[in-house]
Amino acid sequence: MHKVAIVGRPNVGKSSLFNRLIGRREAVVADLPGVTRDVKDGLMLYENHRIVLMDTGGLWSGDEWEASIREKAEMAIEDALAVIFVLDPREGLTAADYEVADWLRRLGKPVIVVANKIDSPKHDVYLAELWGLGFGDPVGISAEHARGLDELMERVLQNLPPDDEDYPEVAPIRLSLIGRPNVGKSSLLNAIIGSERVIVSDVPGTTRDTVDVEWNYGGQRFVLVDTAGIRKRPDTAVEEYAIQRSETAITRSDVIWLVVNAGEIGDHELKLANLAYDSGKPVIVVVNKWDLVPDKELKATERFLDEKLAHISFAPRVYTSAVNDYGIHDMLAEAMKLYNKWQSRIATSELNRWLEIWQMRQRTPNFQGRSLKMLFMTQAETAPPTFVIFCNNDAFVTRAYENFLQNRIREDLELAGVPVRIVWRARGAFKKGKKGEEKED
């Protein structure tokens, strides 16, 4: 699998081109400079080639992020076999464009100059100036209208060797970090992979889009997803869209790390946990910056966390510090444990043995003199584990009794920390008709 980087100054359409080539809206796009800061990977297939495209932040932006963005882009280009240098020729070549060109020459990678926003043949006159950059014949494209993309990809393929690798069919495990801004999600991701892959800053909202990082550990493939901090009320349209992307990342993940600070926990964290559980994903509460809690306050802080997180007490909890790598292995161990439980399947015979025990432990609900009778139980799905219970009348089921069964399933079937679902099915010789009369099957 070969890597190709997309670079250029801010607001020339790099992310629009990235989205167009991979065929889906993976990167946040806005008519503002500096939306993309970290390097975002995306897989595209073209003529039997599997290519990892890397969307980089705007270079020579002139803002506080300039050095960090250039550092991350240079790390991406080290692994790339070709570089797509995107420009907006209708604005003319700027000083930043020449700076990027000089920088690319020093890196020594094959460069394809791309003139974006060439929406029709009459705009081809803008290409002449780009010859002066010294990278050969520029390619005129329009990312918005999908014009010139085949010519661009033919130029890219000239720099790639034949793609004859065998790829594993097993999908990687997706692990996402979610939480409010500035709790240390990006620092934890960097600590896990042992590399400064994403930008870290004390400024809240540094990460403005989801960042997927492929990682292999002990022979197991992972995709680690760093998400934008989710606020209660986003300040800008870009931030609002980034939050939507973070919520989408939750639904695509296998396990969620909910990152919190010990002293900053409120209803917002519970809402994020419920969002993950509603999508059927297991959640691990990661209490970050644990090194900042004084030793004499550790017990009191743990009691505070127990109180604040009482509604999600079933979620495993790990204590971490991205600064000294404390608890990083615990994060991975808990994630693998929950993932295996999430994917587990339990034999029907074992389920029905437990069903009898549970009915003896707790009397079933009574409705107008008639009791709920659970007749049979089976597992219908995994990820999340979904159980179907056949009963005499599903209208007799109360929320309290269903909660009792969910707790018993988690404890007795060793599914602690995993969201489980129960589906009720009425079964018997008689069912209620439309007008309430008893009706024979």
CA angle, 122 then 127 then 128, to 5°: 110
Which residue spans within 67-133 are E strands per DSSP?
82-87, 111-115
**Any idea what DSSP says for residue 38?**
S
Is there a binding annotation on residue 57?
yes
Q: How many CB atoms lie within 10 A of CB 71?
A: 11
What is the C-alpha radius of gyration for the chain, rounded to an integer number of angstroms?
27
Residues 6+ away with beta carbon under 8 Å from 381: none
Asked whether residue 226 is marked as a ligand-binding residue, the answer is yes
User: Annotated binding residue at 131?
Assistant: no
**H or E element, residue 109:** none
Identify any residues that bridge with 416 across adjacent strands, giving them in sequence order.
Answer: none
161 annotated to a ligand binding site = no
> Does 290 carry a binding-site annotation?
yes
Dmax over Cα atoms in the chain, in whole Å? 89
Contact 76/39 with Cβ under 8 angstroms? yes
- The tokens describing 205, both together, are 């909202």
Residue 184 in marked binding region: yes
The reply, when asked if residue 10 is annotated as ligand binding, is yes
Question: Residue 308 has which token pair?
Answer: 């604040």
Peptide bond into 138 cis (omega under 30): no
Q: Is 248 annotated as a binding residue?
A: no
DSSP letter assigned to residue 264: B
Please check if 118 is assigned to a binding site: yes
| 374 three-class SS | strand
Look at residue 361 and give its three-state secondary structure.
helix
| 280 annotated as belonging to a binding site for a ligand | no
Annotated binding residue 12: yes
Residue 13 annotated as binding? yes
The annotation status of 435 as a binding-site residue, yes or no, is: no
According to the annotation, is 58 in a ligand binding site?
Answer: yes
- Is residue 288 a known part of a binding site? yes
Say whether 140 counts as a known binding-site residue.
no
Q: Is 116 known to sit in a ligand binding site?
A: yes
117 carries a ligand binding annotation: yes
Q: Using alpha carbons, select from 290, 284, 314 the residue that is nearest to residue 302.
A: 290
**How far apart (Å, rounded) are the C-alpha atoms in residues 281 and 257?**
10
179 among annotated binding-site residues: yes
Among candidates 143, 146, 141, which has minimal Cα distance to 124?
Answer: 141
Is 234 labelled as part of a ligand binding site?
no
Per-residue burial over 339-365, b = 16 or more CB atoms within 10 Å of its CB, e = otherwise: bebbeeebeeeebeebbeebeeeeebe
To the question of whether residue 59 is assigned a binding role by annotation, the answer is yes
Q: Is 289 annotated as a binding residue?
A: yes
Confirm whether residue 181 is marked as ligand binding: yes
Q: Report DSSP state, residue 13.
A: S
> Could you give the CA distance from residue 344 to residue 351 in angstroms, rounded to a whole number?
13
CA dist., res. 13 & res. 17, Å (int):
6
* 183 known ligand binder: yes
Tell me: is residue 8 an annotated ligand-binding position. Answer: yes
H/E segment holding residue 174? strand 173-178
Binding residues for GTP: 8-15, 55-59, 116-119, 179-186, 226-230, 288-291
Binding residues: 8-15, 55-59, 116-119, 179-186, 226-230, 288-291
